[in-house]
Structure 1
């Protein structure tokens, strides 16, 4: 009976998530349809912001995690939309670079979204970071404002910045496939693999009761405290390499992966390290021995 009740709650939660994403998608499409002839980048940005605003619904269900899959769902929709705008529905019109970008983005998006879905436990489950922000926010700042700007809008802006080099990668077709494209494929595929392996190792470690209170320091986690974040960062650098291969004049879109790096190094990594320190005093020694992101052989105890 308890399992059935949990299953119903989980199904209801996913129904709310799916409905919200459908509404966000319709709202984004309405923006694009309302302003024909405008530059696709501007239209995409406006549609992205409107779709993000839909996630004000997360305050209704009191769960900011409703927005979490947007990080991996929106980029795939945007990139596929850009490619269809260039090629129509004719797969034979795809260039090698376009095909590589689409396949890698879809692989990244499907894996990351599935990873979120496998760990989400329903509308009663909210990411601990959001709970912490809510509890520690200044009394004069309403939660809905912090939720909309800090938890939803900021990541949307960072992800859109990361997508900027993808625009020339899938629309500028004048330059043939070259070594820069090969480097982009290697970096992006390796980043997806690193993130996938790191997440799998973390899940396996966390599920073992014998590991309660211990720190994962084997596999990829032996050489980096946050290899999953490293993989995510690497993915966006791979996207930039694709843009650089297609149109070197768009080199300035390096601001995108730099923004991703700053988000992880100034927000995500410090938050995770502080939480680990508060729960496991031995983590301080782990921090001394193992680097935060870029892997190296751990220092001796």
Structure 2
């Protein structure tokens, strides 16, 4: 057994507070690494500096995840890194930049707290990572799957989404207008949708009477993954802010489109396959409830 997995096995037996302390220490070091990159590349365009700093921080978190033999150490990075980046990018406070800052921080805090409530400590690794480890092609080292598939890929996806936030925070010549109002409505609605969906799911899962059952109530009655829909809409809201601030940055639509592709072709299929394996009746549920958009419910075919 390698030394890193020995450390990981020992820490897996540690208490939940110790687990959070390990995460906090790893992210503190990651932040210092990012800050060092910023200091070294002070003459480079801020977007490139941020990109390199983001990669450096990701590599630190990856190293920590290898040390503790738990890829889930990366999970809060999705919501923590954007908040830190937005705070650094903010220069001039206007109605638009203040709203973008507050909405990103609200999204970040909610998503991070949702992770913290669900995470049981270093003994808890996301089932998707366990599945990837067990099903990876023979000869493909786990550290490579962890680095590229679990950590670098999401970092790149989120950075692509954040490209729209850059003009929203730095281009202040255009006044606050109707497109900003639409952006606020979409973003607030997205955060509210995610919040309500997660709350309904936690409440459903906490009831012993629902063990083995499929959630089919509230938002989950109209969409199999309303939480994912909320996450997608959040990034569309950020793009609308970019469009309001600087129409020439329309190409940052690549961010929300990338989010649509990620959730449609990766996250949703993985969750659906797992549900099918655990609950055979989920196949019928899939015929009646759409994956994301809350379209009218379909009736099961009569036979």
What TM-score results when the alignment is normalised by the length of structure 1?
Answer: 0.94
User: Would the alpha carbon gap of residues 104 and 7 (structure 1) be closer, same or farther in structure 2, given more than 3 Å must change?
Assistant: farther
Unmatched runs of 5 consecutive residues or more in structure 1: 1-5, 88-93
Structure 2: segments with no counterpart, 5+ residues: 1-11
Question: Displacement, 1:297?
Answer: 2.5
1:165 aligned to 2:164? yes
The 8 Å contact of residues 13 and 123 in structure 2, kept in 1 or not, is answered as: no
- Cα distance in 2, alignment partners of residues 70 and 217 from structure 1: 30
Give the 3-state SS of the residue equivalent to 1:291 in structure 2: coil
Runs of 4+ in 1 over 2 A off after TM superposition: none
Whether the 8 Å CA contact 2:78–2:158 is kept in 1: the answer is yes
The alpha carbon displacement at 1:176 in A equals: 0.2
What SS does the aligned partner of 2:50 have?
helix
Assess, with a 3 A threshold, how the Cα gap between structure 1 residues 179 and 7 changes in structure 2: closer, same or farther.
Answer: farther
CA RMSD of aligned residues (A): 1.1
The equivalent of 1:18 in structure 2 is 24
Query: CA separation in 1, counterparts of 2:98 and 2:197?
Result: 27
TM-score normalised to the size of structure 2?
0.94
| 1:28 is the counterpart of 2:27 | no
User: Secondary structure of the residue that 2:15 maps to in structure 1?
Assistant: helix
Q: Of 53, 72, 75, which aligns to 1:68?
A: 75
Q: Deviations over 1:10-30 (max 9, x none)?
A: 011001000000000000000
Partner of residue 250, structure 2: 251
Aligned residues: 288
In 2: Cα distance, 1:298 partner to 1:123 partner: 40
Deviation at 1:7, TM superposition (A): 11
Please name the residue that 1:298 is paired with.
297
SS at match of 1:62: coil
Q: Deviation string for 1:247-298 (max 9, x for gaps)?
A: 0000000001111111111110000000000000110000000000001221
- Work out the CA distance in 1 between the residues paired with 2:14 and 2:129: 25
- Distance, in Å, in 2 between the alignment partners of 1:268 and 1:174 is 38
Encode CA deviations 1:144-172: one digit per residue, 9 max, x unaligned. Answer: 11100000000000000000010000000
Task: Rate the CA distance shift 1:57–1:8 in 2: closer, same or farther, 3 A.
Answer: closer
1:126 corresponds to: 125
**SS at 2:264's partner residue?**
helix
Q: Determine the C-alpha separation between the residues in 1 that align with 2:125 and 2:59.
A: 19
